[in-house]
Copies of this chain bind each other. A is one copy, B any other.
Amino acid sequence: MTEPLPQGAVIGILGGGQLGRMLSVAASRLGFKTCIYEPGGDCPASHVSNYHFQKPYEDEDALRQFAEAVDVITYEFENIPTSALDVLDGLKPIRPGREALRVSQDRLTEKDFLTNLGLKTAPYADIPDAASLKAALDTIGAPAILKTRRFGYDGKGQARIMQTSDADAALSDMSGAPAILEGFVDFSHEVSVIGARGVDGQVACFDPGENVHQGGILRTTTLPANLSAAQRTDAVLLTGQILNALDYVGVMGVELFVTPQGLIVNEIAPRVHNSGHWTQQGCSVDQFEQHIRAVAGWPLGDGSRYADVVMENLIGDDMDRVPELAQDPNVSVHLYGKAEVKAGRKMGHVNRVVRRD
């Protein structure tokens, strides 16, 4: 399929969280329907989609019916079981493609991919066993961080090694899962670039934002980021390099550490990204519409930034602040319709616009 999807076409989305929700809304704006595949019921994306396959990822029949019901398949999270992808593959286009998923599903593969592109990453080593962890700590040194190679997000599946004597405890935290050791990077701050690449190879990047995390969860993204013009250019160019190397179609989030020695790639996410939510109030075409445009074979939209924005996640009890936030004329509220407030759960976000005079 190289023709743009017509009005009324159905975009299949694997995953039914808030990212799928905002993708569905963007798809509706362009006249598309959406079909969500998500095992959980009453999920945020299902509230604003045409169809919801509430089925496990192991249900091959349901996956085939899903593929039958849609015109293109995309996803809101990268940890889709390979077996599910194997069923879907060839039935309908999967965008972004499987190579992007293969690379980003495994921290070791991802680091190797980035290194082979000539990009800088944190020092890292494959940790198949206890012996390799000791050897790697000799080279990389402590403090360092041990992470499962697969299925980590929001700080989960990670253990810090402050001194070499922490090694055994950290390894046992991995519960036998394949792991990777990453050295600490002495960075001043983290930024991210939300990049997009169309079916035709066109690349567009949003302005880099500056991220602040708390407890492993993104807290705020501030635009503009504190970057020199040269760093800004570097950030955008390396994002384009990654997108092209993967023959990527869609939106990608690229997290970067800013150091005196240059930009270091922390990780890539083959999907719309929490640090790109500011685009809803800062750009004509936000990251969600940009992603839908790309996977639907439309031309990419204009992502140039017209306002300064601070995006703040509403996590757990932050929801108590909504009545007050709703009265602030500079704040746009975005809630995800999650039934239950839990500590550490992303319930919504706000974009605070700083008007330029």
Contact = CB atoms under 8 A, between A and B. Distances in A.
Interface of A: 4, 7-8, 21, 24-25, 28-34, 46-50, 281, 284-285, 293, 298-299, 301-302, 304, 306, 319, 323, 326-327, 329-339, 348, 353, 355
B329 A304 contact: yes
B339 A326 contact: no
B7 A319 contact: yes
8 A-B pairs with least C-beta separation: A31-B335, A302-B329, A31-B337, A48-B48, A28-B48, A299-B327, A25-B25, A47-B50
A8 B323 CA distance: 15
15 contacts: A4-B323, A7-B337, A28-B337, A29-B333, A30-B333, A30-B335, A31-B335, A31-B338, A33-B337, A34-B47, A46-B50, A281-B284, A284-B329, A293-B326, A299-B323
B29 A330 contact: no
A299 to B, nearest CB: 5
Contact of A32 (B33, B319, B329, B337): B337
A200 to B, nearest CB: 12
Contacts of A339: 7-8
Tell me how many chains of this kind the complex includes: 2
Contacts of A47: 28, 33-34, 49-50
Contacts of A21: 28
A327 B285 CA distance: 11
A204 B199 CA distance: 44
A13 to B, nearest CB: 13
Contacts of A333: 29-30
A242 to B, nearest CB: 24
Given A8-B339, A28-B47, 5 more contacts: A25-B25, A25-B48, A33-B47, A284-B329, A302-B329
Contacts of A25: 25, 28-29, 48
A54 to B, nearest CB: 13
B332 A284 contact: yes
A348 B30 CA distance: 9
Contacts of A29: 25, 333-335
Contacts of A24: 48
Which residue of A21, A284, A285, A298 has the most chain B CB atoms within 10 A of its CB atom? Answer: A284
A356 to B, nearest CB: 9
Nearest to A355: B306
Contacts of A334: 29
B7 A335 contact: yes
A353 B284 CA distance: 9
Contacts of A48: 24-25, 28, 48-49
A50 to B, nearest CB: 5
